[in-house]
């Protein structure tokens, strides 16, 4: 079977990549900060906070998308705040980024957190007794030693973004060339008579992308590992 990609498919692939990269980069600092708070802070109500962060993991993505739509719509509390500034998010590619960020966030936090929990507490104590303030320790000890966790978190987030469908279709719509990512394009094809071959082509692209991400991640992790443990 010949694999054919239409110009519209190429658009979808680029858009998917752009959304996934943007969502991952934007979410990273927040993911790191939330993981830090969950691991090292002594906040009251940490359990509740933890639950809140993990909520999108168990909620149907459609629900997440709908809530985002309510918040960002013209009458929504966020949407009405942004409107005077001339910023419209819903039904643009930014909405797809936001949907991916929210849905992938718990995965990212979880991975970073696991990495942080592996750091020997005595290293943190050592840095404090050597005169480092907590934020100094954060950037010179915890951040570099969380490298593996951050990488794993970014990979999960990226992969999850590539596959995001439910929340995206509600808050960003399915507009070819504007918000139509790979999964949305496949969904379109399956609803079109004779679209099977085209859908399969995009499926193949999906598989190749996912494989590339996983292999790249594995390679980087290995490099990290060999640097740390001889």
Partner 1 sequence: MSLTVSLTKAYPGFELSVDFSTESRRLGIFGRSGSGKSTLVGMLAGLVEPGEGFIELDGETLFDSRRRFSLPPEKRRIALVFQEGHLFPHLSVEKNLLYGYRRTPRALRRVDPAELIGVLGLDDLLERRVGTLSGGERQRVALGRSVLASPRLLLMDEPLSALDDGLKYQIIPYLREVFDRFAIPFLFISHAMNEMRLLTEEVIVLHRGQVSGQTDPERLARERMGWARAGYINLLRLADPLEEEGLFAYPFGTGRLVMWAGGPGESVFELSSTDIMLFRGHPEAVSARNLLPGRVVSVFDLENRVGVELDCGGETLIATVVRPAAAELDLRPGSEVWAVIKASAFRRLY
Residues lying near partner 1 in the complex (CB under 8 A) are found at: 120, 122-123, 125-133, 136, 140-141, 144-145, 147, 227-230
Per the structure block, which two tokens stand in for 72?
């960002």
Q: Which is nearer to partner 1, 101 or 150 (CB)?
A: 150
Min dist CB 39 to partner 1, Å, is 17
Min dist CB 226 to partner 1, Å, is 10
Length of the chain: 230
Min dist CB 143 to partner 1, Å, is 10
Min dist CB 133 to partner 1, Å, is 6
Q: CA 197, CA 222: separation in Å to the nearest integer? A: 38
Rg from Cα positions in the chain:
20
Return the closest-CA partner of residue 174 out of 11, 5, 6, 63.
11
Q: Which is nearer to partner 1, 46 or 228 (CB)?
A: 228
Half-sphere exposure for 206 (CA within 13 Å, toward CB): 19
CA–CA distance from 81 to each of 7, 64, 67, 220 (Å)? 37, 20, 16, 41
Q: Which is nearer to partner 1, 146 or 180 (CB)?
A: 146
Residue with tokens 């309510």: 70
Q: CA 226, CA 213: separation in Å to the nearest integer? A: 20
Q: Which is nearer to partner 1, 66 or 224 (CB)?
A: 224
Per the structure block, which two tokens stand in for 126?
């050592």
Q: Which is nearer to partner 1, 58 or 133 (CB)?
A: 133
Min dist CB 151 to partner 1, Å, is 14
């Amino acid at each position: 079977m010949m694999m054919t990609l239409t110009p519209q498919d190429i658009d979808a692939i680029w858009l998917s990549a752009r959304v996934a990269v943007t969502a991952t980069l934007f979410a990273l600092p927040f993911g790191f900060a939330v993981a830090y708070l969950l691991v090292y802070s002594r906040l009251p109500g940490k359990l509740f906070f933890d639950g809140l962060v993990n909520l999108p993991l168990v909620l149907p993505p459609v629900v997440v998308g709908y809530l985002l739509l309510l918040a960002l719509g013209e009458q929504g509390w966020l949407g009405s705040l942004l409107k005077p500034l001339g910023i419209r998010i819903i039904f643009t590619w930014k909405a797809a980024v936001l949907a991916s960020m929210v849905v992938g966030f718990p995965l990212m936090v979880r991975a970073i957190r696991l990495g942080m929990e592996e750091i020997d507490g005595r290293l943190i104590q050592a840095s404090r007794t050597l005169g480092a303030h907590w934020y100094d320790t954060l950037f010179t000890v915890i951040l570099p030693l969380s490298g593996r966790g951050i990488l794993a978190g970014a990979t999960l987030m990226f992969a999850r973004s590539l596959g995001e469908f439910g929340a995206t279709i509600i808050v960003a719509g399915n507009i070819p060339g504007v918000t139509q990512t790979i999964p949305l394009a496949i969904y379109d094809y399956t609803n079109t008579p004779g679209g099977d071959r085209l859908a399969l082509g995009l499926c193949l692209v999906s598989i190749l992308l996912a494989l590339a991400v996983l292999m790249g991640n594995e390679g980087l992790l290995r490099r990290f590992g060999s640097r740390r443990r001889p």
